[in-house]
């Protein structure tokens, strides 16, 4: 009898988390590794949010809370989703989770049946496919063009398709889906009676584009689960706070799954979440302005080195094509061995990513300049 289940044994370790741990370890050992591997804001959580969390602990809010979240947070989230995302939801349609990752995981488990298919559009975040595999489902990869926009999306749909997963702005490509693309996905979902899970965790990290929630398009309310979290917009990765909103009967089953697994998101962390939503939003504007300056610096630097790279509309990643430099796996190895730069190979994001490498610019402009110098040396 084998030790672990076949279902778990089929799942890879998270490449992003593995590379992050490796870069930290190498730096600790005294090497000067530039970490462009991990997708984590290098900013501190704003002080008023930290204070709210600390006050909550001091006030003794250290006990169990309702599985779907404390009422104050669900209320604040429902207001945010109505006002900013044009979703017609109330607090009862919102479920709080320990991180957006758990929201993705539990929504996929709730919606997918053994043998069902989930469409992923081009290179996609590392954890989507494992979530689908855990549910006994399969991923159908939809092709994208050179701007990472879907082409022939209908070809990816079969009688077994249950879900389309949308992630705009995208990790790893930074692509933003504008309204016509979202409408095309909407039309297919309606025509084929499919669900859509939309992961909008980078909605605030967007440069000169408008973020549109696909759940706000006509007839999408009953077939969309909208997922978001506090990790990126409020630099709260370690707090583990995310949420989802969707049809009430889906939220009911998701809550049941959470009640038997994580129980709830940490009570005082939820208080910090209320402070994040209700407090000053200024920190987001300054963080995004800094990310935009870094994006411009990195993209122009890569282009000067002759590396093919799009200007992404959102998130904090660039996804250059390095096919001419041996492909994503070879180039990532070379970056680490010869330039001490940690990056994530595009292959971690699915078969469409093998010619690419993902570089996160959640690191200072000084470090980005240094990384470009090191790249020039190894390419020279």
What dihedral do alpha carbons 273, 106, 168, 221 form, nearest 10°? -90
For strands 161-166 and 195-199, give the pairing: parallel
Number of chain residues interacting with ligand GLU (CB under 6 A):
11
Spatial CB neighbours of 159, under 8 Å, sequence gap ≥ 6: none
The residue among 176 and 220 lying less far from ligand GLU, judged by its C-beta, is 176
Helices (H), 127-194: 128-134, 179-191
Residue 161's binding partner, choosing from ligand PMP, ligand GLU, none, with beta-carbon cut-off 5 to 8 A by kind?
Answer: none
- Antiparallel, parallel or unpaired: β 317-318 and 195-199: unpaired
How far apart are the C-alpha atoms of 297 and 279, rounded to whole Å? 31
Q: How far is the CB of 67 from ligand GLU (least distance, A)?
A: 23
Per-residue binder mask for ligand GLU (CB under 6 A), 122-161, x = binder: ---xxx----------------------------------
Minimum distance, C-beta of residue 226 to ligand PMP, in the bound complex (Å): 12
Side-chain-side CA neighbours of residue 66 (13 Å): 14
Q: What is the DSSP letter of 112?
A: P
Q: How far is the CB of 354 from ligand GLU (least distance, A)?
A: 17
Give the span between the Cα atoms of 269 and 200, in whole angstroms: 20
Tell me which residues in 89-128 interact with ligand GLU (CB under 6 A).
101, 125-127
Least separation, in Å, of the C-beta of 114 and ligand PMP?
24
Residues in the site for ligand PMP, rule: CB under 6 A?
39, 99-101, 104, 125, 167, 171, 199, 201, 229, 231, 237, 242
Least distance between ligand PMP and beta carbon 204 (Å): 13
Strands (E), the chain: 34-35, 94-97, 117-121, 138-142, 161-166, 195-199, 224-229, 242-245, 317-318, 341-342, 344-345, 357-360
CB of 360 to ligand GLU, least distance (A): 7
Please report whether residue 171 would count as binding ligand GLU according to CB under 6 A: yes
Question: Which residues are CB-neighbours of 24 under 8 A, at least 6 positions away?
Answer: 35
Query: Considering only 14-22, 157-165, 260-268, 297-305, which stretch makes contact with ligand GLU by CB under 6 A?
Result: 14-22
Among positions 23, 33, 38, 245, the unique one binding ligand GLU when judged by CB under 6 A: 38
Beta carbon nearer to ligand PMP, 130 or 229 = 229
Choose among ligand PMP, ligand GLU, none what residue 242 binds, the Cβ cut-off being 5 to 8 Å by kind: ligand PMP
Phi, psi of 226 (to 5 degrees): -100, 125
Structure tokens at 137: 């489902």
For the bound state, the minimum distance from the C-beta of residue 130 to ligand PMP, rounded and expressed in Å, comes to 12
Name the residue whose CB lies closest to ligand PMP.
Answer: 99
**Interaction of residue 342 with ligand GLU, rule CB under 6 A:** no
Picked from ligand GLU, ligand PMP, none, the partner binding residue 100 (CB below 5 to 8 A depending on kind) is ligand PMP
CA distance 204 to 210: 10
Are residues 265 and 94 in contact, defined by beta-carbon separation less than 8 angstroms? no
Residue ranges binding ligand GLU (CB under 6 A): 14, 16-17, 38-40, 101, 125-127, 171
């Amino acid at each position: 009898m084998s030790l672990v289940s076949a279902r778990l044994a089929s799942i890879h370790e998270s490449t992003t988390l593995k590379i992050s741990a490796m870069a930290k370890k190498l730096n600790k050992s005294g090497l000067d590794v530039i970490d462009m591997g991990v997708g984590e804001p290098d900013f501190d959580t704003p002080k008023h949010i930290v204070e709210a969390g600390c006050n909550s602990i001091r006030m003794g809010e250290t006990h169990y809370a309702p599985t779907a979240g404390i009422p104050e947070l669900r209320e604040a989230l429902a207001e945010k989703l109505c006002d900013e995302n044009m979703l017609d939801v109330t607090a009862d349609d919102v479920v709080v989770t320990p991180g957006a990752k758990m929201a993705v995981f539990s929504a996929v488990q709730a919606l997918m049946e053994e043998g069902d298919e989930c469409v992923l559009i081009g290179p996609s975040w590392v954890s989507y496919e494992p979530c689908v595999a855990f549910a006994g489902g399969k991923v159908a990869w939809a092709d994208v063009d050179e701007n990472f926009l879907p082409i022939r999306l209908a070809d990816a749909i079969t009688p077994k398709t249950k879900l389309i997963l949308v992630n705009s702005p995208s990790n790893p490509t930074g692509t933003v889906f504008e309204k016509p693309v979202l409408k095309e996905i909407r039309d297919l979902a309606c025509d084929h009676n499919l669900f859509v899970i939309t992961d909008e965790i980078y909605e605030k990290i967007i440069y000169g584009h408008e973020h549109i929630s696909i759940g706000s398009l006509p007839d999408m309310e009953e077939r969309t689960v909208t997922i978001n979290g506090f990790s990126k917009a409020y630099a709260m990765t370690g707090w583990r706070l995310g949420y989802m909103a969707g049809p009430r009967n889906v939220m009911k089953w998701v809550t049941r799954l959470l009640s038997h697994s994580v129980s709830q998101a940490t009570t005082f962390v939820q208080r910090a979440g209320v402070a994040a939503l209700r407090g000053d939003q200024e920190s987001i504007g300054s963080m995004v302005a800094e990310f935009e300056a870094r994006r411009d610096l990195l993209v122009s630097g890569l282009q000067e080195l002759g590396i093919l790279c799009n200007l992404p509309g959102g998130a904090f990643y660039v996804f250059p094509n390095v096919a001419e430099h041996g492909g994503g796996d070879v180039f990532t190895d070379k970056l680490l061995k010869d330039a001490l730069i940690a990056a994530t190979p595009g292959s971690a994001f699915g078969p469409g990513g093998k010619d690419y490498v993902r570089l996160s610019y959640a690191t200072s402009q000084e470090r980005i300049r240094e990384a470009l110098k090191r790249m020039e040396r190894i390419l020279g």
